[in-house]
């Protein structure tokens, strides 16, 4: 990305990421959920955060609606604005992960290129988790009433209905949230995190 400022100098941290991991007792990472609206991102993010917190982990959820009201309040839902939204979130997630947290991000993030950008911002410890649920199932659940609004013509760029969703080609994990229960999905996630964020020798 083009950087406007000149004469910028990065600070050199004396605390290494491995030192942060050792203190926390686990690696830091970004657990990046992607999936349609109503596929279960917020539900599973909040449940996973609680479960990991109870296990003593450093964990924090970045949620779509929160980010859009603040850091990304100037952005809408055009392809360009969605890209910029995910770019900013990727950078925020990378910073949180640098600080030692397990970051759970819950954004539709419909475009492959944007998810790849977030992965690049974060580096090795980026885990793309595809929450796979058919649009028909999501539309039936419709906890935010978005699919109903789209049917009435009140929203014209709903992902999976009138805006594209690019299914991940090689996600790190896929969970069939269309057929599994919340608890079953959560168990798969907790197991995944425990295996992938353990320090070697644990």
At closest approach, how far in Å is the CB of 145 from ligand ADP? 11
What residues form the annotated binding site? Answer: 35-42
16/196 Cα distance (integer angstroms): 20
Residue 143 interacting with ligand ADP (CB under 6 A): yes
Which of 43, 101, 105, 132 forms a contact with ligand ADP (CB under 6 A)? 43
| CB-facing half-sphere around the CA of 29: CA atoms within 13 A | 23
146 token code pair: 């978005």
Residue 44 interacting with ligand ADP (CB under 6 A): yes
The neighbouring-strand residues paired with 34 are: 130
> Cα 50 to the chain's mean position, in Å?
16
Active site residue 109: yes
Residue 109 interacting with ligand ADP (CB under 6 A): no
Residue 105 interacting with ligand ADP (CB under 6 A): no
* DSSP collapsed to 3 states, 62-88: EEHHHHHHCCCCCCCCCHHHHHHHHHH
Residue 141 interacting with ligand ADP (CB under 6 A): yes
**Interface with ligand ADP by CB under 6 A: which residues?**
35, 37-44, 106, 141, 143, 177, 180-182, 185
């Amino acid at each position: 990305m083009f950087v406007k400022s000149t004469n910028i100098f990065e600070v050199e941290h004396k605390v290494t990421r491995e030192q942060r991991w050792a203190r926390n007792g686990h690696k830091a990472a970004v657990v990046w959920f992607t999936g349609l609206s109503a596929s279960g991102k917020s539900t599973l993010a909040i449940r996973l955060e609680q479960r990991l917190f109870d296990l003593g982990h450093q964990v924090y959820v970045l949620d779509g609606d929160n980010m859009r009201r603040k850091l990304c309040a100037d952005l809408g839902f055009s392809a360009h604005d969605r890209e910029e939204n995910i770019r900013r979130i990727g950078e925020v997630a990378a910073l949180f992960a640098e600080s030692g947290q397990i970051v759970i991000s819950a954004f539709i993030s419909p475009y492959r290129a944007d998810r790849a950008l977030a992965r690049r911002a974060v580096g090795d410890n980026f885990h793309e988790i595809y929450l796979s649920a058919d649009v028909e199932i999501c539309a039936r659940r419709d906890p935010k009433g978005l699919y109903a609004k789209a049917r009435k013509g009140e929203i014209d760029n709903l992902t999976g209905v009138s805006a594209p969703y690019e299914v991940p080609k090689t996600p790190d994990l896929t969970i069939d949230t269309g057929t599994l229960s919340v608890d079953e999905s959560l168990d798969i996630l907790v197991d995944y995190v425990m295996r992938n964020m353990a320090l070697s020798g644990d």
